[in-house]
Amino acid sequence: MACPLEQALAVMVSTFHKYSGKEGDKYKLSKAELKELLTKELPAFGTQMDEGEFRRLMNDLDHDKDSEVDFKEYACFLACVAMGYNEFFRDAQRPRKK
């Protein structure tokens, strides 16, 4: 059986394809597909964004400006979200100031 980290990477890939195949290019996320992925798969993140924040995120992720998010752009995004989780994890470990 695959190790937890290998399973985690496999989930990253399968989640991308679960949504990218719905419309347009099978290997890219359209704006609607990205929105659905974030809302359903990263609710702690996806449900907090309003339309303006979502447009800015889409713009930031879409490095090659083709109005879609490819796997590389998606993986870099998840790395940034993981960094946010990591900061949260580190702060929780720091002793509280009395």
**Per the structure block, which two tokens stand in for 95?**
């002793």
CB 86 within 8 A of CB 94: no
**Per the structure block, which two tokens stand in for 57?**
């995120």
- Number of shown-chain residues binding a second copy (CB under 8 A): 35
| Phi, psi (degrees; rounded to nearest 5) at 29 | -95, 125
**Least Å distance between CB 20 and a second copy?**
10
* Nearer residue to a second copy within complex by CB, 32 or 83: 83
Question: How far apart are alpha carbons 42 and 56 in whole angstroms?
Answer: 17
**Least Å distance between CB 18 and a second copy?**
10
**Least Å distance between CB 55 and a second copy?**
22
Instruction: Give the DSSP H or E segment for 37.
Output: helix 31-41
Restricting to residues 21-80, name those near a second copy by CB under 8 A: 27, 40-44, 71-72, 75-76, 78-80
Q: Name the residues that contact a second copy, by CB under 8 A.
A: 3-17, 27, 40-44, 71-72, 75-76, 78-83, 85-86, 89-90
